[in-house]
Amino acid sequence: MAMTTSPRPSSPSIRHRVSVPASYAGLKDLFDECLRFADRHEIGDDVRHDMYVAIEELVSNVIRHGGRPGIRPRVTVSAALTPGTLRVTVADNGPAFDPLSVPAPDLTQPIETRDIGGLGIHLVRSLMDDVQYRRQHGRNHVRLRKRLRAAGSGERTPE
């Protein structure tokens, strides 16, 4: 597991990066590191929960579908914490796949008649304030953005 934390004195942001094998053992290491980051920077339980669910869904998809012959999939999670916002990017070296291209499931249909799949990315979209995808340098990058709540209030901070 490779990790770096780099507070930038000239910027109000804190950056953190973790790279692990795309495996369930790697996912556990990733969560342990995310927990330390969240504790160190006092990220609230609501944001922490939503981000963990989103990261777990995205990384689990890489574990299940990201392997290719001769390629050992790796996942890199990068976080940028700025006043009012947490941005997390989940990147992997698996085959090109834009999860945002998956149509939203029709939740009004009975489960027996719905297509299999698509609920995970639907959940990620519903938990995050913004989700973006890009393919760059042979890697998938899914960027998540979550606004943070102002301390002591039930309101989210404006951007």
pLDDT tens for each residue of the chain, 159 residues long: 554 444 443 445 789 999 999 999 999 999 999 999 999 999 999 999 999 999 999 999 999 888 777 778 899 999 999 999 999 999 999 999 999 888 777 777 777 776 666 678 989 999 999 999 999 999 999 999 999 976 544 444 444
In a domain, 109, yes or no: yes
Query: What residue type is assigned to position 62 of the chain?
Result: V
pLDDT score, position 155:
43
Q: Which two tokens stand for residue 81?
A: 């914490």
In a domain, 153, yes or no: no
- Where do runs of H (alpha helix) occur along the chain? 24-40, 45-65, 119-127
In a domain, 36, yes or no: yes
Domain boundaries, position 135: 2-147
Task: Give residue for tokens 């004195």.
Answer: 9
pLDDT score, position 104:
76
Within 8 A by CB and 6+ apart from 73, the residues are 21, 22, 62, 63, 66, 67, 92, 93, 94
Cβ(48)–Cβ(110) below 8 Å: no
Within 8 A by CB and 6+ apart from 152, the residues are none
pLDDT score, position 117:
64
pLDDT score, position 152:
47
Give the integer Cα–Cα distance in Å for 30 and 43. Answer: 16
In a domain, 156, yes or no: no
pLDDT score, position 12:
59
Instruction: Give me the number of domains the chain comprises.
Output: 1
Question: Domain with 22 in it: what CATH number?
Answer: 3.30.565.10
pLDDT score, position 106:
72
In a domain, 81, yes or no: yes
Q: Which two tokens stand for residue 11?
A: 């910027």
In a domain, 154, yes or no: no
In a domain, 24, yes or no: yes
pTM to 2 decimals?
0.82
In a domain, 93, yes or no: yes
